[in-house]
A and B are shown apart, each in its own frame.
Chain A
Amino acid sequence: MEEKNTLKSGFGSRILHWIQNYKQYIIQYFGLIFVIAVFLYLTDGDLFSARNLETLIRQLVVILTITLGMAFIYSHGGMDISVGAVVALSSLCATYVMNLTAGQVLPAILVSIAVSVTCYLLNIIVTNQFGLMSTISSLSVMFVARGIVTYVNSMSTDKIEVHNTAGLELFRSNTPFLIGTMAVLCIVMTVLFNLTKLGKQNRAIGDNPLSAMQSGVRVKKVKVEAYVLAGIMVGIAAVFSLSRTGSVSEKTGSGLEMDAIVALILGGMALNGGAKSRISSAIIGSFTYVLLNNGLVMAGVDTQVVSLIKGIIFLIVVFLTIRQPKSKKVLPR
Chain B
Amino acid sequence: MKMKKLTAYLLAAITIFTLTFSMTGCSSNNGSADSSASTQKPVKIGVILYNYTDIQGKEIKSYASYLEQNFNVKFEYATVGQSEDQHISGLENLLNKGVDAVISGYDTALDNSIKMCEERGVYYGVALGDIQSSYKGNSKYFVGGLKQFNGDPEKFGETYAEIANQKGLKHIGVISFPAFTFVDGTKIADGFKKKMSQLDPSAEVYDMETFMYTPDLAKAAVTNVFTKHSNVDSILGLGSGMDMIYPAIKDSTKPSTKILSLGYNDSTMAAIKGGSVVAAGTNNYSQIVANMFAQLYDRVNGKSYSDWSLNGTVSYPIVTNEQEVTDFQNYVIPADKSKGSVTADELKKVMKTFNSNATWKDLNILTNRSLAEIKAARKAL
Q: Please, which residues of chain B bring their CB within 8 A of the CB of A165?
A: 111-112
User: Is there contact, CB below 8 Å, between A244 and B25?
Assistant: no
Interface residues of B in 1-38 (CB under 8 A from A): 2-3, 6, 9, 12-13, 15-17, 19-21, 23-26
| B84–A320 touching, CB < 8 Å | no
Which B-chain residue is minimally distant from A84 (CB atoms)?
A: B83
- The answer to whether A255 touches B93, judged by C-beta atoms less than 8 angstroms apart, is no
B84 touches A249 (CB 8 A): yes
| A residues less than 8 Å from B230 (CB atoms) | none
The A-contacting residues of B in range 52-83, CB under 8 angstroms, are: 52-53, 76-79, 81-83
Contact-residue size bin, chain A (C-beta under 8 Å from the other chain):
35 or more
Q: Does B322 contact A (CB under 8 A)?
A: no
Known contacts A19-B6, A34-B13, A303-B78: does B23 contact A309 (CB below 8 Å)?
A: yes
Q: Verify if A167 is at the interface (C-beta below 8 Å from B).
A: no
> Does any Cβ of A come within 8 Å of B88's Cβ?
yes
* A51, A59, A297, A309 interface centre (most CB from chain B within 10 Å): A297
With a 10 A CB-CB cut-off, give which of A34, A46, A251, A294 has the most chain B CB atoms: A251
Establish whether residues A252 and B85, one from each chain, have CB atoms under 8 Å apart when the complex forms: yes
Q: Please determine whether B92 and A59 come into contact, CB atoms closer than 8 angstroms.
A: yes
Q: What B residues does A250 contact at CB under 8 A?
A: 181, 212
B94 within 8 A of A: yes
| Residue A203 lies at the interface, judged by CB distance under 8 Å to chain B | no
List residues of chain B with CB within 8 A of the CB of A304.
52-53
A34 to B12, CA, bound (A): 12
* B52 and A312 contact, CB distance less than 8 A: no
Q: Given that A246-B111, A293-B89, A320-B9 are contacting pairs, would A299 and B84 also be in contact in the complex, using a CB cutoff of 8 Å?
A: no
- Interface readout for A289-332 with B: 1 if CB under 8 Å, 0 if not? 00001101111111111101100110010001000000000000
> C-beta contact mask, B174-194 vs A, less than 8 Å → 1, else 0?
000011110000000000000
CA–CA, A58 and B95, complex, Å = 13
B-contact bits for A79-95, CB 8 A (1 contact / 0 none):
00000100000000000
Across-interface contacts of A255 in B (CB, < 8 A):
81, 83, 86
Residue contact A42 to B24, C-beta cutoff 8 Å? yes
CB contacts under 8 Å to A, within B72-127, are: 76-79, 81-90, 92-97, 108-112, 119
Q: Is the CB of A251 within 8 A of B23?
A: no
A154 is an interface residue with CB less than 8 A from chain B: yes
Determine the chain A residues whose CB is within 8 A of the CB of B16 once the complex forms.
34, 38, 309, 312-313, 316
Q: CB-nearest residue of chain B relative to A62?
A: B85
DSSP class of B's interface residues: helix, strand, loop or mixed?
Answer: helix
- Min distance, Cβ A130 to any Cβ of chain B, angstroms: 28
B93 touches A294 (CB 8 A): yes
Cross-chain contact B97 with A297 (CB below 8 angstroms): yes
**Chain B contact residue count (CB 8 A cutoff):** 51
Assuming the A-B contacts A16-B6, A42-B26, A252-B84, are A153 and B180 also in contact, with contact meaning beta carbons closer than 8 angstroms in the complex? yes
Segment touching B, from A114-122, A155-163, A187-195: A155-163
The answer to whether B180 touches A302, judged by C-beta atoms less than 8 angstroms apart, is no
Which residues of the partner chain B approach A247 to less than 8 Å between Cβ atoms?
Answer: 84, 109-112
Q: How far, in whole Å, are A58 and B116 apart by their CA atoms in the complex?
A: 12
> A129 CA to B30 CA in the complex, in Å?
61
Instruction: Give A325 to B291 CA distance when docked, in angstroms.
Output: 60
Select which of A241, A300, A312 is within 8 A of B19 by beta carbon.
A312
Q: Closest approach, in angstroms, between the C-beta of A236 and any C-beta of chain B?
A: 15
* A175 on interface, CB distance cutoff 8 Å: no
Contact B25 A254 (CB under 8 A): no
Q: Which residues of A contact B96 (CB under 8 A)?
A: 46, 49, 51-52, 55, 294, 298
Complex Cα spacing A51 to B110, Å: 22
A173 and chain B: residue at smallest CB distance? B119
CB<8 Å pairs between A and B, sample of 13? A38-B20, A46-B96, A51-B96, A159-B132, A165-B111, A249-B83, A252-B84, A254-B82, A255-B81, A299-B24, A300-B24, A303-B78, A305-B19
Residue ranges of A at the interface with B (Cβ–Cβ < 8 Å): 12-13, 16, 19, 34, 38, 42, 46, 49, 51-52, 55, 58-59, 62, 84, 150, 153-154, 156-159, 161, 165, 172-173, 241, 244-256, 293-294, 296-306, 308-309, 312-313, 316, 320
For the A-B complex with A159-B132, A297-B94 known, give 10 more contacts whose Cβ atoms are closer than 8 Å.
A34-B16, A49-B96, A58-B92, A59-B92, A247-B109, A247-B111, A251-B84, A256-B85, A309-B19, A312-B15
Please report B residues at the A interface, Cβ cutoff 8 Å: 2-3, 6, 9, 12-13, 15-17, 19-21, 23-26, 52-53, 76-79, 81-90, 92-97, 108-112, 119, 132, 134, 178-181, 212
The 6 closest A-B pairs by CB, nearest first: A245-B84, A297-B93, A245-B109, A246-B112, A251-B82, A303-B79
